[in-house]
A and B are shown apart, each in its own frame.
Chain A
Amino acid sequence: MKVNPSINRRDLLKGGASLLVTVSTAGVLNSSVINNAVSKEATTKLRTTAPDQLDAWLAINKIGDVSAFFGKTDMAQGVGTAMAQIVAEELDVSVNKVTTILGDTNLTPDQGGSSASSACRWGAQPLRNAAAEARQILIDRASKILGQTNEKLDVKNGSIFVKDSPETKISYGELVSEEGFGTQLDWNKKYGNALRTSGTASVKDPADYTVVGQSVVRKDIPGKILGTTEYCHHVSLPGMLHGRMIRPPVANAIPVSTNTKSIADIAGARVVHKRNLLAVVADTEWGAIQAARQLEVEWTDTDAPFPHMDQLYDYIRQAPPVVSNGQTMTFGSKNYNVPRGQKEYDLGPTNQVLASAARVVEAEYEIPFQSHARMAPSVAVADVSDNGVVIYTDAQKPHDVRAGVSKMLLLEQEQVHVIWLPGPGSYGRSDGDEAAFEAAVISREIGQPVRVQWMRDEGHGWDPKAPAAVISLKAGIDDNGDLNAWLFHAKGFSGWDVKNNPSNPGDTLAGMQLGWQKWDEHNFGTPEESYEFPNQVEYWQTIEAFQEVASPLRCAHMRSPQKKQVSFAHESFIDEAAAAIGQDPIEFRLKYLKEKREIEVMEAVATAANWETRPSPSNDIDSGDLLKGRGVALFSGYGTFVATACEVEVDRISGRIWARRFIIAHDCGLIINPLGLRGAIEGNVIQGVSRALCEEVLFDQENVRSTDWISYPILDSMDVPEAIDIVLINRPDKSPGGAGEPAHVAIAAAIGNAVFDATGFRARQMPLTPERIKAGLAT
């Protein structure tokens, strides 16, 4: 995508923020970036992004095309189409007339970007209200023109007509003006996920929905398959240089000096060395790659920052719980670890019961660091000039990129315009936003636009990681074979080592290298399902990071932050307890679950899987070399309830697991788009299988050694399931829950439970590699 030079280089911000909007509109929206060309009327006039303005959310042009301005992004699960459905529904227009504009900080209100599977459950609320409000206003206008009361009017396909005489009608396009609506909304004065608005119009009763709930095909798909989608990677500005970052060979080493002669033969090659940040730029991309390889750098001589990888789990067990604000936070900080209203834990009663229980079952689970390992590593283009800053990024949270970059460059937020474009799927605080900060620093240093593209080894090696942990559980069983105590204890690296968004420069690599302070918060997690056991205590502890500043093992949100780790341990151990008592895994769960919707998904999955009620393991664990088993696991979170059954085949000789079939019962309340939802669930399951069976970040004492797809394998087409059968439970009376993560969480436990059923071996270390299974079966 070539961006018009006269606009982006020179005129930018000359006239302040208002001009910037016009500029961005001409530069971006009139290109092919957005499917279905957005009307000029809607987008070339000055736009507000103030959440209390109807015009911030919605624009309708003279031919009735609707633009919906959504302050989140689409991490490739069809969110843009789902939002178009919601707006089309309330406005009574065809979904094809609605274009969703995502993530541009000058065009969309700050709704916090992609986060917490929240697009439909929270993010849609202001758009739904805005569409209802606009419909009401247009009906009021039509009523005056047509000389009819509102009650006598109805809307179909963007045309307001008189019910008794449908040929008397007026279209939305004829009722709008170029000035927009100018209507004020109520707003809760919160940005991000919490942003809510309200107007005077009421929204539709879900029982009347005709567009929401339909399997509308995703608007973004044809371009991706025809190869015409404009990804962030295509952005090219006049005078743009190509940049590459230089990473230290030992993770905590700092660049001391460079030999610029070593890259003198490369056209335009220059070094950018600012405090601890080191990069090269060159005229061409290949030149920048060569320069990064050739540059001779002297690094500080540092002690290796990490323990030996073999000692990871013992290190976690032995490390003191984290110290924060001068206090030992034995049970984590704040209230994040405290479920069900408790403020503090007293382990005493539970330990007493455990000490006197007829039988105690206990187990420890080990979960490694995992990498986002996006299909493409981080990329961004930044243009920093006296007139302001423009950044092109595929980051999940463009508004937070704006906040972070403006702080880092000591500018006002209004001086930074962040334009979001599609990129590779991202599932949390990945490396996605890092290049934006680096490109901004480099562009300011050299006074030209810069494109920073990470290489593969950085994408695996230097993205924020999902935290490693050891999770231990104990259950007491009384003389009658009933549970009488339950102890869950997660101990691991903080999932909030760096913040879940880049609004503080100190939580980005570039920011840390320039001396900005990381935030100081800690988080892990405990189970969220509704099991109630006698004398139940569940708590977490975090430990200090190996390396505080700019670490390749810094941790942050990764798909279902910590819920994945918690679920593997907890849902596996539920199975261990059921097996110890000799009960069927579903029967056991139903006995202790309190939430009706959890019980219903469990029952639904049992039916769909044709589940045979019996305890695990199966009677056939000693028969033959190909062992078969079934397992189940539950997850609830993000307002959604998912029961997962899995059928596996385990090759006793090789240790290979084939998760052959999954049955997913999925209740996310009101379903917006069943087709899109099924696609999202399948993706969740496959990525879940990959993380359960394949994924583990390798490191040695000096650095991360997972640097490509060989040292960090993901699931291959030879190993994907034969079938994923999905049972969707639609609840129009319940607000939409999230679907971007829930089906992902319990996959590892479901597989582990099925492996136990097949073999009698309990896998307690993720990932469940052939070597581990083979070793387990040999003992």
Chain B
Amino acid sequence: MARYILNINGEQREVQAEPNMPLLYALRGELELKGPKFGCGLGQCGACTVIIDGAAIRSCVTPVSAISAKSIRTIDKLGTEDAPHPVQKAFIEEQATQCGYCTNGWIMTTVAALEHNSDVSNQDIREFLSGLKCRCGSHMSMLRAVRRAADIMSEDNES
């Protein structure tokens, strides 16, 4: 067991963990965050995605010891009902979820991609979402939502 100080959603948080324990178990366990989900533990589905230093990272295969001193964002503090992130707003407007279990991965991956570059084609969108799993088949509405978010965010960039 070792002590790790993690910078999560702008706060310094301390966790006790074995060095090889994936970040996901720290987030969902000691830190009591609910946004990142366990889906596969293999980095294959994306339900556990968090944003670390601007990149969408699968926390289920990222050891706690590998990320100290980096900035971690989770969906838990991404936005609120009154002030959702533009990507969340677009997802709500498009009713772009069914069970919602995978939604964290789609939203956090989209946030990382669009905050980096929101000037994207529909094909770009499909490509950066590729690899994320959704069993309910909400893809059509999610693709619409990401398109909507990209348009809003690129307009905001221009203005």
Contact = CB atoms under 8 A, between A and B. Distances in A.
Interface of A: 75-77, 217-218, 220-231, 233-234, 284-286, 289, 373-376, 422-425, 453, 455-456, 675, 679, 682-687, 690, 708-710, 714-718, 720-721, 724
Interface in B23-76: 25, 28-29, 34-35, 37-42, 44-45, 47, 74-76
A27 B68 CA distance: 37
A225 B135 contact: no
Which secondary structure dominates where chain B touches chain A?
loop
Sort A-B residue pairs by CB-CB distance and give the 5 closest, nearest first: A224-B100, A686-B137, A76-B99, A227-B35, A227-B75
Contact of A709 (B18, B103, B133, B141): B133
Nearest to B38: A376
B138 A679 contact: yes
Given A685-B137, A717-B143, 13 more contacts: A76-B136, A221-B92, A225-B92, A226-B80, A227-B78, A227-B104, A284-B25, A425-B136, A456-B40, A679-B95, A709-B133, A715-B137, A716-B130
Contact of B130 (A227, A708, A718): A718
B45 A709 contact: yes
Given A227-B78, A456-B39, A456-B41, A285 B104 contact: no
Interface in B104-119: 104, 107
Contact of A285 (B25, B42, B95, B107): B25
B156 interface: no
A286 B137 contact: no
A516 to B, nearest CB: 30
B39 to A, nearest CB: 5
Interface of B: 17-18, 21-22, 25, 28-29, 34-35, 37-42, 44-45, 47, 74-76, 78-81, 84, 88, 91-92, 95-104, 107, 126-127, 129-143
B133 A714 contact: yes
A522 B39 CA distance: 33
Contacts of B95: 217-218, 221, 675, 679
Given A226-B80, A285-B29, A455-B41, A77 B131 contact: no
Which of A76, A225, A284, A687 has the most B CB atoms < 10 Å from its CB? Answer: A225
Contacts of A721: 140
A289 B25 CA distance: 11
Contact of A679 (B130, B133, B141): B141
B88 A286 contact: no
A375 B141 contact: no
A675 B130 CA distance: 26
Nearest to A218: B95
16 contacts: A220-B100, A221-B92, A223-B100, A225-B100, A225-B107, A231-B101, A284-B25, A286-B18, A375-B99, A375-B101, A425-B101, A453-B38, A679-B98, A685-B137, A709-B45, A717-B126
A226 B88 contact: yes
Contacts of B104: 227
Contacts of B28: 285
A154 B107 CA distance: 46
